[in-house]
Structure 1
Amino acid sequence: MDIPELDALDFRIVNALQLHPRASWAELSGVLSSDASTLSRRWSRLTDSGAVWSSCFYMPLERRKRQPLAFVEVLCHPAGLDETVDALAVIPEVFSVHGTSGDRQVYVTVGAASLAEIDQCVRTRIATVPGVTTTRAHYVRRVFQEGGQWRLGVLTDAQTAAIAARRPQPATDLAAEPTPEEWSALEALADDVRRPLAQIRERTGGSLAAVSRRVTTLLGADWAHWRIDVAHRALGYECAVMLWLRAPQENLEQIATSFRLLPESRLIASVTGPANLAISLWLRDLADLDDLEQRVAKVYPQLSFTDVWVVPRVYKRAGHVLDANGMQARHVAFRESGGD
């Protein structure tokens, strides 16, 4: 798909829905200073073009920080790489697939219920994909920030507060696990968080009032993870990079927290191996990497770079398969995991 030009109103719409994915256009009209019909048309254009897409899935807040997760380097035969990537993208435990520089062709983010299940997935599913020659897993110790937490940050403080105030607050008496009916609602929202209530009812059954209550419950449930994603090239970013850093253990959390202040930071996690900190960032130009490395070295001279991967293409992100321009092409159901 061609990359559409996004303007200031498009950015505000996306940012608003990152804060409250089910806010009505009427609710957002006054906050964004645009009529509801215009907002609706803009959103349809963004999603129909593949520039913006959404997800909703089961993932408790605390488990997002401690979820067994791994970044797996995958070395492949260059011939037939597209077929190999397609096969990797449909593995349920594979959350994201990134093309990358260096001696690996892609790296994938894998999530499962335990480290043993990740290991089994790597050995029996990823390593056996035709074209894969070698795999190397880097296990995540802690996630400081994941891609679903990234925000455009174009709204004023007043707009942000007004939209956040409209979102249902977390219920104090909510069960730790969704009911069967809530599971059905989650599945109906998996690839479109703004699916109309009538369409959700067609998939789940029940009255419109019951469906509305379930969706409201999901908005306030810490086990329901809502994401609004944007094609990075539609935002003016050329590529991504994955920094592999070695930091003193006593400074690790402080350094990770400071990287969260960078608007281009997507994923920040402590990992096992020679590097103990992995950071994924978007870059507007690859030349910006020089400035980034210099800034990091100046602020944190105790940090050392063990590797830098350039990511020229993302094949799959958060369960959505992307085209060559990073635009959403289709949704692939995945098992609970986290990452970028």
Structure 2
Amino acid sequence: MQDSVIATDELDLAVVNCLQLQPRAPWTLVGAALGVDPVTVARRWQRLSDAGIAWVAGRASGQGRPESCLAVVELSCSAGETLAIAERVTELPHVLSVEHTSGPRSLTILVEVRDLAFLSRFLLESVGPVPGVVATSSHAVTKIYSMGDHWQLHVLDAAQRAVMLRGTRPRVDGLTSEQADLSRPYDEVDRQVVLLLGEDGRMPVATIAARAGLSESTVRRRLANLVGTGRVVLRCDMALPDSGWPIISWLWAHADAGDIDAIATTLGRLPGIRVCWRISGGHSNLMLALTAHSLHELSIVEARLADEVPRMTINDRSMVLRSIKRMGRALDLDGRSMRAVPLDIWADPVAWRAPAR
């Protein structure tokens, strides 16, 4: 049960940062990195997890298909129906995140579907008929330069990071790395494992085996393969207010096609850039998420963008007023996880219609 009065301290943040580097790291490794007894570290994580402050979740990488589509969908909603719509859309298994945003769009959602035809069906059959949805606008993500999966708190020093990364292979991510083997299809066993990781990315092998009716050796082998080939994304998340980075702003920008890659490289070196995508479907061809400690700091980050990337033009911006779902977790008013809503990219098209109230 969540406890709204729980406050985080530096050790809590350090534990989360360790799991951002290695989401399934054993407590012995985290303890060694932080110079803390593993039992203490495990107890701290359990406290954070029980309160919904931090969590690890897994999801499939694009269904193992190169044509899979990640898309940003903006929903214009009637004011009185916005919350009800957000709650309905949150339940859809292809929706990664749902945000209540400022500006002309009421809700901004991120979806992952198998192809553009499925995106069309999602918009026309699942979202369009929902009462109160006035209009939709979609933008396909054509290239990912950075993703919230790799965003970090940056509270570890160099020595602590070195311990966490010692002996590990570079992280392979199906959304961001060309090393990922997305040509291999997922079979039913892979699907079972991935969906259970969607409930808890640190679920023990024994628990996965029991839940899926598989042997522990099979689960261990499949899990190693899914993670090693980048066909599953494991991500450690934290409630933004508890993390000390409560502010997120989305920017829609434009750059000449020949400049985009160089601009994205520059953006990747700037603090505060949580997401950077190349998009299509409108005048803007870049979409950025800026994160900051305060609204005042956000204006400083934007000013630095103007200095560092003068060839990029910002066309529009919006503030995230509230995160309602983030990467498979339904969030409360404080941004804390209330429950898992596992991302099921294999869901039957008939089953993913938004449920009626």
Q: Following the alignment from structure 1 to structure 2, what is the Cα–Cα distance between the partners of residues 121 and 222?
A: 26
- 1:20-31 equivalent positions in 2, closer than 5 A: 20-31=22-33
The TM-score, its normalising length taken from structure 1, stands at 0.90
CA separation of 1:210/1:94 partners in 2, compared to 1, >3 Å: closer, same or farther? closer
| CA shift for structure 1 position 63 | 6.5
- The more displaced of 157-166 and 15-24 is 157-166
- The more displaced of 256-265 and 101-110 is 256-265
**AA in 1 matched with 2:148:** G
Alignment partner of 2:254 out of 246, 249, 258: 246
Q: Following the alignment from structure 1 to structure 2, what is the Cα–Cα distance between the partners of residues 267 and 170?
A: 18
Q: Which residue of 2 aligns with 1:223?
A: 231
| CA shift for structure 1 position 169 | 7.6
Contact 1:266–1:279 at 8 Å: present in 2 too?
A: yes
CA separation of 1:288/1:74 partners in 2, compared to 1, >3 Å: closer, same or farther? same
- The more displaced of 243-252 and 210-219 is 210-219
Q: CA RMSD in A?
A: 2.6
CA separation of 1:247/1:4 partners in 2, compared to 1, >3 Å: closer, same or farther? farther
Contact 2:266–2:308 at 8 Å: present in 1 too?
A: no
Q: Which residue of 2 aligns with 1:320?
A: 329
- 1:28-177 equivalent positions in 2, closer than 5 A: 28-59=30-61, 67-167=68-168, 176-177=184-185
Give ranges in structure 1 of 5+ residues lacking alignment: none
Contact 2:96–2:112 at 8 Å: present in 1 too?
A: yes
CA separation of 1:3/1:250 partners in 2, compared to 1, >3 Å: closer, same or farther? farther
Q: Following the alignment from structure 2 to structure 1, what is the Cα–Cα distance between the partners of residues 118 and 181?
A: 32
Q: Which residue of 1 aligns with 2:177?
A: none
Q: Following the alignment from structure 2 to structure 1, what is the Cα–Cα distance between the partners of residues 136 and 5?
A: 33
Once the two structures are aligned, what percentage of the paired residues are identical?
31
1:310 aligns with 2:319: yes
Q: Which residue of 1 aligns with 2:299?
A: 290
Contact 2:61–2:182 at 8 Å: present in 1 too?
A: no
**AA in 1 matched with 2:139:** H
**AA in 1 matched with 2:60:** Y
Alignment partner of 1:263 out of 265, 271, 286: 271
What does the per-residue CA deviation read over 1:137-188, in whole Å, with 9 as the maximum and x for residues that have no partner? Answer: 1222211111112122222333323322354788999992445333322222
CA separation of 1:25/1:166 partners in 2, compared to 1, >3 Å: closer, same or farther? farther
Contact 1:96–1:316 at 8 Å: present in 2 too?
A: yes
The TM-score, its normalising length taken from structure 2, stands at 0.86
CA separation of 1:155/1:238 partners in 2, compared to 1, >3 Å: closer, same or farther? closer
**AA in 2 matched with 1:85:** A
Q: Which residue of 2 aligns with 1:299?
A: 308
- The more displaced of 238-247 and 218-227 is 218-227
- The more displaced of 66-75 and 116-125 is 66-75
